[in-house]
Structure 1
Amino acid sequence: MKIKLCILALFGCSLSLFSQEYFPQNDGVKTENSNYTAFKNAKIYVTPTNIIENGVLLVQNGKVAAVGSSVSIPENSVTIDLNGKSIYPSFIDMCSDFGILAPKEPQKSNTPQYDASREGYYWNDHVMPENRAVEKFSFEEKRAKELLDAGFGVVNTHISDGIIRGSGALIALNENTTNSERIIAEDAAQFLSFEKSKASRQAYPTSLMGAIALLRQMYFDAQWYEAGNAEGKDLSLEALIKNRPLPQIFIADDKLNDLRADNLGDEFKLNYIIKGGGNEFERIDEIVGTKASYIIPLNFPDAYDVTDPYMANKISLEEMLLWNQAPTNPKVLAENNVTFAITAKDNKKLTDFKANLLKAIAYGLDKTTALEALTTIPASLLNESDEIGTLEKGRYANFLITSGDIFDKETTLYENWVQGNKHVVNNMETIDIRGEYTLNINSESYALSLSGELEKIKSELKKGATKIASNITYQNGWLHLFFNPNGDADKDQFIRLSSLIASEGNLKGEAVLTNGNTTNWTAIKKTSQEKEKETETDEIPKVFPVTYPNKAFGLKSLPQQQTILFKNATVWTSEDTGILQNTDVLVKNGKIASMGTNLSASGAKIIDATGKHLTAGIIDEHSHIAAAAINEAGHNSSAEVTIEDVVNSEDADIYRNLSGGVTTIQILHGSANPIGGRSAIIKLKWGEDPTGLLYKERSKFIKFALGENVKQSNWGASQTIRFPQTRMGVEQVFTDYFQRAKEYSEQWKAYNALSSSKKSRTKAPRYDVEMETLAEILNKERFITCHSYVQSEINMLMKVAEKFDFNINTFTHILEGYKVADKMKEHGVGGSTFSDWWAYKFEVNDAIPYNAAIMHDQGITVAINSDDGEMSRRLNQEAAKTIKYGGMSEEEAWKMVTINPAKLLHLDTHIGSIKEGKDADLVLWSDHPLSVYAIAEKTIIEGAVYYDYEQMQEAETLIRQEKNELVNMMIRAKNNGVKTQAPKVKEDEAFHCNTLIYQLK
């Protein structure tokens, strides 16, 4: 709305200027008029919505002196008659790295770097708000020419390196001046990203969630520092505070990262301008919900070369859909009133930018909106509307001269003026000869097509349906074309055509034939009607509808709660009532409304469950699916990070788990360090965004770890720097950090107990997210799930906890639990274990498949977990193994994947069993749920069907049909000369406890 009001205000200002009959005398026109340049008889786009027909643009000293339909041109002005041509404001790219050298990567080292390399700055090298692009800027003539040829006049350039990148500089692409005159704003915006600096070896962060945690802590530190609580100087925090009034541009580069950046901004009341990834259309409702402004790239993917059926089969539907739908992204954003600018940053070649811009318009982007996204919107977002973005009086004379509509494929860009200095793209005197012709020579006829840029004309020659290789040059008004009419049969025989072009329309000239004789030739230009009849138009292919998520098995709309009545089911309650035969279960408003026999409900969907089994949804206490990162390995404690920041709602394993009857999982941090990160508890609501997956009733958990991984014994010979390196050291880490957290908590209690007057004279403790998290453990507000193997370490951690007066909640995949089950019972800790994994590394050599049964017999709450994306789809069968190994009853075995993990997650009052009032998280099985033959026919979460076996089979058929249709589209595109890319096999990383990867998507 603000932008619309600004545009209306600018329009109002321009009306008075357009009606001006005489140039004002007080501007010194009568005495100093030789430095004016007047462009007349042009169609002038003063703004994208204020257009003057046959107007005059008057330029003086690099700025617009006047513009209008009745501007008096001062005497002795340099007057340029544009004779019906068009003038547009030059484009603005607000996210560039023009003129900034890529940072030098440090020399490789065999040992990791944990501490910062700088003194007097922030404790992390990847935070560099003190960097200023203006201090590292050097004008690049070659790249400037490319940008100017593409229509850009101004770029907001920055140092494209690091998490906090410092301030960008607003640069005019003026080839004929000095840097000091090119610089419109030295500090135009502050740039941020989730990506580490390439110039630093500092290990932390090693993950996306670590980057988010670093930014969160940095903002808290800046607040604390600004309040005067610090003892010394921190140049980074001072720069961060100084840069706060600047526009904050966050390089997110993906739709889910867009949402993550916005969530962080909301936390600290920051309005980021988010640079997206071009796939925002896939989650448009959530993008609209951010209320953010965006910078959108036009990096549409090329079609795949799918002529090899084997390789075509390797391309996922997700990748094919992105190729098909990506050009609609700008249109979808505009239709949903999302404010966005357009950038060329992600285009490898600027010619791709122009082609993709025209493609976006062909796919529905309004031309006015496109022009706004390249001019007024970036100017407004950068708070520079008084200087750039329009051709109103007083603005920089940054403008384009074109042959017509700038967004027309046939339009020629002649000149790009920046700060009143001319850059020639195409000679304005050059006659446009592009088009379709019938070439007649020596009684032979050919189809001749001339296309491409005006001074880089491309020719295509055909004799009937046969293409004939040809070569053309068009310079200084002379056209030269030669070709071999006989093809490869006679390689040295050419027909050579030449012509001096004097006017548009038909062509004619002299030809030298293959025998050396000369003759005349003509080329009759086809009318637009003839072209439409004889040539294929640039038809927009069918655009497939977006699904949620936008990949195989995605949903056209999100499932809705239903009133469902299951009739005559065998109901596994996971309660004291046991297994009920021939029982009805009514689901209403997302809850289990009633259970019994002969139930009825008006309007309910009736499901005949005769001979089938109804259970509570399976709960996986230890999973690593549905996350964009698992380990933050940069420190020996990463309590400040949380998986909730990096939930990945696009993970196909969500759907696969639903097919195995899983409805709830705990996504745990990995085992890279003794104190890991906080977990995320999600319901597998396929199609929701990351926030929609988070279980609203979730308790607070954190992952700890013991064993080989945390002491880095299996990380390689160079990983000997970080403490701890022994199991003794692991215990010391826990003791030290809990003692620090205890002292930290006491500091805050003492500070908060002060009176207001004393607080104002006392420096506040530093708010530390890591210590806050550990203090929550001490205060019994957050619970530990601990990765564990060896009995000695299990005993150790229980003793450390008891020393600090709290209990460990769960030992997960505790394969030596049978050795210490009595001590676990006494401590009050639960066990979540594998059914029969053993001997896959040295410290699990003593694992036995009777572990779960032995712990259960000691009165411990025992769950079977997966820790694996594949195993989690068959946890019903894993639970069944406890019957073989330990003689568990069927009911108790089933509880190990339902009510028991619910108890371990403190959620048993909401989920884990079939009981009136609980969440309707249910699975209808075709057979005994512990059987290998059992199929999950329906998986229901809170009364909505998120998986249906029959619908899955129908979807498989539809997927094959859609892929086949998309393959044919790509083949057709290739046959039409569209650039293609070679198929690449894309395999999603399967995350495990020890996965170390810096993944941004």
Structure 2
Amino acid sequence: MSKIPLRVLLFLCSFSVLAQEYFPKNDGVKTINSNFTAFTNAKIHVTPSQVIDNGTLLIKDGKVVASGTQVTIPKNTTIVNIEGKSIYPSFIDMYSNFGVEKPKRESGGGRSPQYNPSRTGYYWNDHVMPENTALSKFKFDNKKAKELLSAGFGVVNTHIQDGIVRGTGTLVALNTEGGNEMAILEQNSGQYFSFSKSVTSRQSYPGSIMGSMALLRQLYLDADWYAKGNSKTKDLSIEALNKNKSLVQIFSAGSRANGLRADKIGDEVGVQYVILGGGDEYERINEIKATNASYIIPINFQDAYDVENVYLTQSLALSDMRAWNQEPSNPKILADNNITFAFTAHDLKSPKEFKTKLMKAIEYGLSKEKALAALTTTPAKLLGKQSEIGNLNKGAYANFLITSGDIFEKKTTVYENWVQGTQTVINDMNTKDIRGDYTFLVARESYEMTLKGELSKLSADITSNGKKRGSKVSYKNNWLSISMTSKDSTQQKFIRLITNVTQGDHLNGKALFPNGDELTFYAKKVGSKTKDKASKKEGSSALKEITPVTYPNMAYGFKELPKQETILFKNATVWTNEVEGILKTTDVLVKNGKIVKVGKDLSDSSAQVIDATGKHLTSGIIDEHSHIAAASINEGGQNSSAEVSIEDVIDDEDIDIYRNLAGGVTVIQILHGSANPIGGRSAIIKLKWGENANNLIYKDSPKFIKFALGENVKQSNWSSFERFPQTRMGVEQLYIDYFSRAKAYNALKKSGKPYRKDIEMDVIAEILNKERFISCHSYVQSEINMLMKVAEKFDFNINTFTHILEGYKLADKMVEHGVGGSTFSDWWAYKYEVNDAIPYNAAIMHNAGVVVAINSDDGEMSRRLNQEAAKSVKYGGVSEEDAWKFVTLNPAKLLHIDDKVGSIKVGKDADLVLWSDHPLSIYAKAEKTLIEGVTYFDIKRDEIMRSRIKTEKAELINEMMLAKNKGLKTQPIKKKEKDQMHCDYIDHESN
């Protein structure tokens, strides 16, 4: 093999260190060497699917001239014979912050309102910065470049990782010998987005994911309005956004759920994002596939948990344990479903970890061809640079790796990484691979030794008579030096072994003893890491035992989603909530998701018959005011957030869905919180546990929005003095102002004249048009009166006052206005404005003719609403039937869905609960909870699930203990507390 010193190769490629061709050449000799370089007798991976055996790669001036078996080598060519070695295209990372310092959080506490932007001439929101360019912040980082080069990367797409709209990225070649004139492949290589606010601004809006989504929607609408020439002012941000539309649009989602949310926005505005995933896409792979998006996939697979502490391990969620087991299979599952994806080193502590993580994905079934594509041709194509990078075809940049063999084998050594024809030596190509198992005899004592690890960082396992010896290894320039502890290791004495590695597989050298004696030693190679291979095979087979994904992929998830059934309940006590009242010994037939018959002695040969003798059958409980099953609750950055929607942030993995089903709840309204007078739009969902977020949403349900009064909206309990309003008087004027503006907006919209579409005004106009209903957080009598008068002034009605603990004071006025009351059963005195609350409130409003519901506003209370309803029997003497309607038919009426749910009537949805006892009893248990004829909770099935969960946890704990025993890294258990969201819950900011 031809051996060329590094300095010579660097001279041959000296063109890469020169500045622009027009740079003055008056400071020395400037002759440019224009020789070719040919790498011969190599296995060349031109692309993942095109491999040339015994081929030649010819390069010149930083580009590939030819690759093949019949390459004509010009006379002025330096030939490098790399027989037995392989060449691969260097890797590409299209999600990086290389050379771009991460912005630092602005000093000072708190946030500022949205009307205090830090700049003029740009978009009103500081977190929207499409005018930013990575190039303006870029400084080539030699140290980081060498780390990436050692990991196999040759090109990175870097950007400023800050803000919701982050500006454009820059495509950079990791050429450490050239300046930016060589390294910058593309100044503006993509436009970047996220849901996270900028750390450089204290502007408060948005403060939630749903706020970020609303902001992006409005931005795109404004950009379209601007592009049509309708704006009267200049906006440099929107101009940049529109200019960058032709670039690849990259969205930093970071999780499966956020990826789907990002794609939802993209679909609405006609943009197909390339999505940075979270590694959990396998959990809902069909949804991921349906996005038609390409993905950038991190491979920061979790380490096993340290489960030796029995008590702490009890707090470990099954979903987290599964993630360790399942995540490495994510790339394979994506590939099997023909989803286009590229890999990224993003989120790894160091690029050094990249190969280990990548190897794990391959161990879990990802093909090597797909792995190589995800690092080369796929990112190149997504960036529109497939003719220049990611392959070794003629004309592409000379970006390639020289390896000892298959790059995806653990033992393979990466020798060199060439970028634009510039060589970086990672491991000396002439270094002999001495890894393996040896036996040797020193001073009549037998030793066994395994040399392992990377050639540049070898380690040794040395044993004698079954006792392990401490050792340290140095291996450079084919000289091997090993120091190992002697027999008398208590005195820290060492035997030193030294040998020059030349020919053959054995080691000949000298042994130097602590007393100065010197002997020869001979180490015989007995195999090639046979023990290590065996143990590794055993370990990896355990890891490949993948726990099946469930829906949702956590405790109590279904292996297969339950199906709609034909069911006949026999001999039940049926609470119809209709004029028939409570029917004894009655049958109910369910078919095709509907109630088809109610009566005695019913039969159906196709039905599953359930003996309900001695049991009670009711319609499902409906919670008018809930905050479970949502990833965001409050968007408090503005005094009105009508533009946001809870439907955007449904959390289909919230365990409270299952717990509510176990309490007989089938429908809930997830309300926005009470951070501002005008909150966000509601989501009415059916608790179809296991279904995805979209399938939980009650189809074609009426439109609702949350309003709020009292302490929360004027921020008296937040000690905030930055946002209007600060008083109850201010709240009233805010409503008048917004409704007046919406009235004018509505008139312009209906006039047929051009208008700037404003999502917030559209929603408030829907209220004026009686197309959207208000559910209002309320406590104090005076404020309730105020809002009814404001509504009447604008010719609409408030639909529901929720909480309304002073409703008993003005029940007659509520009846006159036509508003319902959804209240707590017996909450009082937990803050100043509820000091006048009484437990008779629900009964008094009911007796006055108000449609009354009992709600939860609490994830714990919501699964005991049957007992909350019972309290109105005690406090006020409400009949049992009417009390039961407080949590079934009445909330259905308030939500305008009582034609479909809320009672047992032929034609209505089969949303039913079979109770073991009287449903208002504290002893009653929901034995079965059905939604549209599907049994989503079954108490017997629940017992089986609990047993399976216990077994699965035990198996995963055992696997983790085995992993730790094998020396694999572990992570500590951090106890997680589930957030219980209420009206005043403020979302944690994600930046």
- TM-score, structure 2 normalization: 0.95
Any conservation in 2 of the 1:787–1:812 contact (CA below 8 Å)?
yes
Distance 2:280 2:267 in 1: 22
* 1:842 is aligned to 2:832: yes
State yes or no: 1:247 paired with 2:248.
yes
Q: Counterpart of 1:347 in structure 2: which amino acid?
A: L
AA paired with 2:576? T
How far did residue 33 of structure 1 move? 9.0
- 2:338 match: secondary structure: coil
Deviation at 1:536, TM superposition (A): 4.9
Which of 856, 860, 864 is equivalent to 1:874?
864
Q: Which amino acid in structure 2 is aligned with residue 83 of structure 1?
A: E
Per-residue deviation, residues 195-234 of structure 1 (Å, max 9, x unmatched):
0001111000011100000001000000111011100100
Partner of 2:5 in structure 1? none
Match for residue 650 of structure 2 among 628, 647, 650: 647
Question: Are the structure 2 counterparts of residues 784 and 464 from structure 1 closer, same or farther at C-alpha, using a change threshold of 3 Å?
Answer: farther
Q: How does 1:540-619 map to 2 (within 5 A)?
A: 540-541=541-542, 542-619=545-622
The partner residue of 2:855 within 865, 870, 889 is: 865
Whether the 8 Å contact between 2:316 and 2:975 is mirrored in structure 1 is yes
User: C-alpha separation between the residues in 1 aligned to 2:482 and 2:228?
Assistant: 74
Distance in 2 (alpha carbons) for counterparts of 1:139 and 1:536? 39
Other-structure match for 1:137: 138
Matched AA of 2:946: E
- Name the counterpart of 2:394: 393
**Corresponding residue of 2:501:** 501
Alpha-carbon distance between aligned partners in 1 of 2:480 and 2:532, rounded to the nearest angstrom? 26
1:479, CA displacement in angstroms? 0.7
Question: How far apart, in 2, do the equivalents of 1:969 and 1:333 lie?
Answer: 25
SS of aligned partner of 2:923? coil
Q: Is the 8 A contact 2:362 2:368 kept in 1?
A: yes
1:303 corresponding residue in structure 2: 304
Check whether the contact 2:163–2:198 (CA below 8 A) recurs between aligned residues: yes
Task: Tell me, in whole angstroms, the C-alpha distance in 2 between the residues paired with 1:879 and 1:427.
Answer: 78
1:738-757 aligned within 5 A:
738-750=739-751, 752=752
Q: Is the 8 A contact 2:593 2:909 kept in 1?
A: yes
Count of aligned positions: 957
* 1:87 corresponding residue in structure 2: 87
SS of aligned partner of 2:47: coil
Pair 43,536 (structure 1): closer, same or farther in 2 beyond 3 Å: closer
Q: In the alignment, does 2:818 pair up with 1:815? A: no
Distance 2:474 2:311 in 1: 42
Q: What is the distance in 1 between the residues matched to 2:283 and 2:465?
A: 44
Matched, 1:61 2:61: yes
Q: Does 1:787 align with 2:780?
A: no
CA–CA distance in 1 between the matches of 2:277 and 2:533? 41
| 1:517 matched residue in structure 2 | 517
On the 8 A contact 2:571/2:612 being kept in 1, the answer is yes
How far did residue 343 of structure 1 move?
0.4
Q: Deviations over 1:771-823 (max 9, x none)?
A: 00000000000000000000000000000000000000000011000001000
Write the letter of the residue equivalent to 2:766. Answer: E
Aligned to 2:490: 489
Counterpart of 1:748, as a letter, is: K
In the alignment, the residues of structure 1 paired with residue 407 and residue 906 of structure 2 have an alpha-carbon distance, to the nearest angstrom, of: 66
- Deviation track 1:130-184 (CA, whole Å, cap 9, x = no partner) reads 0011111100011000000000000000000000000100000000101121111
Kindly state the Cα deviation for residue 322 of structure 1 after the two structures are TM-superposed.
0.3
The reply to whether residue 972 of structure 1 matches residue 962 of structure 2 is: yes
Q: What displacement does 1:526 show?
A: 3.2
Amino acid at match of 1:308: N
Q: What is the aligned partner in structure 2 of residue 16 from structure 1?
A: none
Q: Which residue of 1 aligns with 2:28?
A: none
Residue 712 of structure 2: aligned partner: 709
Separation (CA, whole Å) in 1 of partners of 2:386 and 2:227: 31
Corresponding residue SS for 1:243: helix
Question: Is 1:151 paired with 2:141?
Answer: no
Q: Is the Cα–Cα contact under 8 Å of residues 197 and 990 in structure 2 kept in the other structure? A: no
SS in 1 for 2:902: coil
Name the counterpart of 1:442. Answer: 443
Picking from 781, 787, 807, the partner of 1:797 is 787
In structure 2, C-alpha distance between the alignment counterparts of 1:909 and 1:977, rounded to whole Å: 62
Shift of 1:516: 2.7
Q: Shift of residue 736 of structure 1?
A: 0.3
How far is 1:524 from its partner?
A: 2.5
CA contact (8 A) 2:363 2:540 kept: no
Asked whether 1:774 is paired with 2:727, we answer: no
- Which deviates further from its counterpart, 421-430 or 438-447? 438-447
Q: C-alpha distance in 1, partners of 2:522/2:564?
A: 72
1:12-64 superposed Cα distances (whole Å, 9 cap, x missing partner): xxxxxxxxxxxxxxxxxxxx995211010000000100100010100010000
Ranges in structure 1 where 5+ consecutive residues have no aligned partner? 1-31, 755-763
Pair 1:410–1:695, CA change in 2 (3 A): same
Aligned residue for 2:791, secondary structure, equals helix
1:955 maps to what in 2? Answer: 945
The answer to whether the Cα contact below 8 Å between 1:628 and 1:999 also exists between their aligned partners in 2 is no
Change (3 A) 1:488 1:512: closer
What is the alpha-carbon distance in structure 2 between the residues aligned to residue 852 and residue 480 of structure 1? Answer: 85
**What does residue 698 of structure 1 align with?**
701
Contact 1:431 1:503 in 2 (8 A): no
**Aligned amino acid, residue 822 of structure 1:** D
Write the distance in 2 (CA, Å) between the matches of 1:954 and 1:464.
51
The 5 A counterparts of 1:159-170 are: 159-170=160-171
* Residue 693 of structure 2 is aligned to residue 724 of structure 1: no
Amino acid at match of 1:68: G
Instruction: Indicate if the aligned counterparts of 2:434 and 2:505 stay in contact, CA closer than 8 A.
Output: yes
> Could you say which residue in structure 1 is the equivalent of 2:7?
none
Shift of 1:437: 2.4
- The CA distance in 2 between the partners of 1:84 and 1:508, in whole Å, is 26
The alignment status of 1:312 with 2:313, answered yes or no, reads: yes
User: Which SS does the other structure have where 2:190 is aligned?
Assistant: strand
Tell me if structure 1 keeps the 8 A contact 2:113–2:723.
no
Could you tell me how far 1:530 is from its partner in structure 2? 4.6
Give a deviation string over 1:864-916, Cα, whole Å, max 9, x none: 00000000010000000000000011100000000100000000001111111
Query: What do the CA deviations read for 1:835-870 (whole angstroms, capped 9, x no partner)?
Result: 000000000000000000000001111000000000
- Report the counterpart of residue 634 of structure 1 in structure 2: 637
**Which deviations, in whole Å up to 9, do the C-alpha atoms of 1:914-945 show, x marking residues without a partner?**
11111101110001000000010011111111
Shift of the alpha carbon at 1:663? 0.5
1:70 equivalent in structure 2: 70
Distance 1:634 1:494 in 2: 66
The answer (yes or no) to whether the contact 2:674–2:707 under 8 Å persists in 1 is yes
Q: Which amino acid aligns with 1:880?
A: A
Distance 1:332 1:533 in 2: 26
* Residue number among 745, 755, 774 corresponding to 1:765 in the alignment: 755
Seen in structure 2, the aligned counterparts of structure 1 residues 401 and 504 have a Cα distance that, compared at 3 Å, is farther
The offset of 1:485, in angstroms, is 3.0
Instruction: Give the deviation of 1:351 after TM superposition.
Output: 1.9
Q: CA deviation at 1:350?
A: 1.3
Equivalent residue of 1:526, what SS? Answer: strand
Counterpart residue number, 2:227: 226
Instruction: Name the counterpart of 1:22.
Output: none
User: Following the alignment from structure 1 to structure 2, what is the Cα–Cα distance between the partners of residues 447 and 937?
Assistant: 64
TM-score by length of structure 1 reads 0.94
Amino acid across the alignment from 1:387: E
Once the two structures are superposed, residues 238-296 of structure 1 have per-residue CA deviations (whole angstroms, 9 ceiling, x without a partner) of 00000001000000000010110111110011110001000111111111111110000
What percent identity do the matched residue pairs reach?
A: 62
Report if aligned partners of 1:680, 1:694 keep a CA contact under 8 Å in 2: yes
Residue in structure 1 matching 2:814, options 807, 824, 834: 824
Which residue of structure 1 lines up, in the alignment, with residue 117 of structure 2?
116
The question of whether the paired residues in 2 share the 8 Å contact of 1:432 and 1:504 is answered with no
Amino acid across the alignment from 1:225 = Y
2:897 corresponds to which of 903, 907, 911: 907
Extract unaligned runs of 5+ from structure 2. 1-31
Q: Give me the whole-angstrom Cα distance separating, in 2, the residues matched to 1:464 and 1:322.
A: 41
Aligned partner of 2:933 in structure 1 is 943
**Structure 2 counterpart of 1:274:** 275
What secondary structure sits across from 2:541 in the alignment? Answer: coil
Partner of 1:15: none
